[in-house]
Amino acid sequence: MALKDLGLDNSPHGKRTLYSLRHSFITWELIAQKVTIDVLARQCGTSIEMIERHYSHVIPRMFSQQLSGVKLPDKKEIEKKWEREELAAKLWERRYIAWEGSYKRRGCI
């Protein structure tokens, strides 16, 4: 009933149940909340082995900085970079237009 009220009862893979949201919850807890596997296994009433078996593709993301020594940017950091680059491009465009106008006025073009 709750999923139907929220419009979440159907998915591209078929009917969705509350149990279907378990994967989303576990993935979210592993990546965003950085809950340890043992705590998550206890919270979900399952074994550490099951979490590792089904979510091993997610686990390296949790420790990407520690494993690689490189901090991967999050979505907000990437969006801010794009905004800065867009502003820089607009600034250069304005500079080019001013330069072009100046050269045309002086008869250089």
Q: How far apart are CA 90 and CA 102, in angstroms?
A: 18
Structure confidence at residue 94 (pLDDT): 92
Structure confidence at residue 69 (pLDDT): 73
| Bridge partner residues of 14 (DSSP) | 11
Structure confidence at residue 86 (pLDDT): 92
Half-sphere exposure (CA, 13 Å, Cβ side) for 80? 5
Structure confidence at residue 71 (pLDDT): 72
Count Cβ atoms within 10 A of the Cβ of residue 31 and give its class: 0-12 exposed, 13-18 middle, 19 or more buried.
Answer: middle
Structure confidence at residue 109 (pLDDT): 64
Structure confidence at residue 63 (pLDDT): 66
Secondary structure (DSSP) of 4-45: HHHT-SEETTEE--GGGHHHHHHHHHHHTS---HHHHHHHHT
User: From the first residue on, what is the mean pLDDT of each consecutive set of 10 residues in the chain (109 residues)?
Assistant: 79 80 79 78 88 76 68 78 90 90 82
DSSP classification of residue 69: S
| Joined tokens for residue 52 | 């590792």
Structure confidence at residue 78 (pLDDT): 82
